[in-house]
A and B are shown apart, each in its own frame.
Chain A
């Protein structure tokens, strides 16, 4: 999942050309991904991870870095299994 997200950001969303994206790189504050890009990223994650992201979950804590996103997906999967 990590590689899929990184390559999607690099190939489709990045506002400048970057060689690699560290999982701890700030996607939001650095301007690497713009607002429209974030909407696309959320849709991509919904499809790839087969989860549903609610508007309340659109937070900095869940989406600032690739690492945050991976943790968010993991917690969503856990919730789904329990449900």
Chain B
């Protein structure tokens, strides 16, 4: 087979070799590689006809559905850059992103009509909508009209691997979203390294629960086509109803599952894992958050035939390290994030960005083929996030500083110790908020916990813990305080302890400590 350099070649390759192979599936709907190849040519042709040029940004505003695959590859084939927008975000924030990267064309589906109508009331650079016909508004075109385009006059543009492919926006800690730029090269590198690491093959069926704006979606959309496999797009409804999700994973005979730990935890608690057949599951991959070891162990017992792997990487790198959990963890210690995978190297930096001493904790900096190009329209932030090592005049190695604290264990594996900014000074003591969380999790009745600092000035700052007890358990506060006294130094005991039935989440499923902090500051708990 010929070498490939760009993401659209992933689809072309399989469409040529096995045209009828199923590329994506969404409930009863399905699309083969050859159909996907043709429909994405039609979308690309339409985009070029309305004046979209190489490097232009095109927005995708959709729930998980089959059309997402057409949107992603259609935009890429036109030489443009896809920008997935979180449909659950407040619309003024979505408009801010649209304006930040000057999106003129938005791709959507009819199910989002109400939101798109409201979005168009916001001041933005949008001047066209694809995927729904709108009344009294900017020009729009339905999917069926795109799919009836004749391709006789279509000439695809030349795309290089260095060209931009997609921009992922994440909410920065300052509130202004950051647009992480990835190229065809970084996306394709991810696909190649992941496929080699886990030996994926054409018979695999990937379960894709990640929304497009969240970087794990690269597995379902890029890794799976590279090996000619099928991706099952998980509907939004199933992610809210764990018992149905459990039935779906079994029914679709999914072999590769990749999600945040939260979804796996919900599956475990759905009490349905004994009812279905999960023998098809080969790999269960998780990333994005720490998977609490006691929960992981319980899940591994339910799925003894699957192999489990802990992946790590900020969206700026997509992924960079992995750790295969080969046997049941004996102790409750957090599992390592492991070693860097292929085409990747790292450094551990001290507070002054010098190489940390051996066995010391420091910030992880990574140099890899999957590294972002930089932040869109934000050169200073890009410069700040890089660590440059000059090899010779005019030639340097560029590392991305992850902001995460790590150290090596005795086996030479990396341990994740929390965010750099989660290590704080409290009345002179160095306090690791993530370590307090891990300590509280030793309590048998605690399912999840978020520890944070309240108050802006250092003199009045205090620690607060918000706890989600195991379902049906009520925790005695006096006993819990005794537990804290035994387990934690006095300065690290949270002054405020509150309980919640469930913790607020970001749209990607991570615990939202920002939201919890807001609720606490406003005395709403």
Seen from chain A, the residues whose Cβ lies within 8 Å of a Cβ on chain B are: 15-16, 26, 28-31, 33-36, 38-40, 43, 54-61, 63-64
Contact = CB atoms under 8 A, between A and B. Distances in A.
Given A34-B88, A56-B272, A63 B241 contact: yes
Contacts of A33: 240
B111 A29 contact: yes
Given A31-B88, A34-B88, A16 B115 contact: yes
Given A16-B114, A56-B271, 17 more contacts: A15-B88, A16-B115, A28-B241, A29-B63, A33-B240, A34-B88, A35-B239, A35-B240, A38-B240, A40-B501, A43-B501, A55-B242, A55-B269, A56-B270, A58-B241, A58-B243, A58-B244
A34 B240 CA distance: 7
Contacts of B271: 54-56
B243 A28 contact: no
Contacts of B53: none
Contact of B502 (A16, A31, A39, A54): A39
A55 B240 contact: no
Nearest to B270: A55
Contacts, number: 66
Q: Which of B237, B271, B502 has the largest number of chain A CB atoms within 10 A?
A: B237
A36 B505 contact: yes
Interface string B104-116: 0000000100110
Given A31-B236, A36-B502, A55 B243 contact: yes
Interface of B: 63, 87-88, 111, 114-115, 118, 235-244, 247, 269-272, 275, 471, 501-502, 504-505
Contacts of B501: 39-40, 43
A28 B111 CA distance: 12
12 contacts: A31-B63, A31-B88, A35-B239, A55-B243, A56-B243, A56-B271, A58-B241, A58-B242, A58-B243, A60-B238, A60-B244, A63-B241
Contacts of B236: 28-29, 31
Contacts of B88: 15, 31, 34
Contacts of A15: 88
From A43, A56, A57, name the one whose CB has the most chain B CB atoms within 10 angstroms: A56
A40 B502 CA distance: 9
Given A16-B115, A58-B243, A29 B237 contact: yes
A58 B236 CA distance: 14
A12 to B, nearest CB: 13
Contacts of B87: 31
A16 B118 contact: yes
A70 to B, nearest CB: 17
Contacts of B111: 29-30
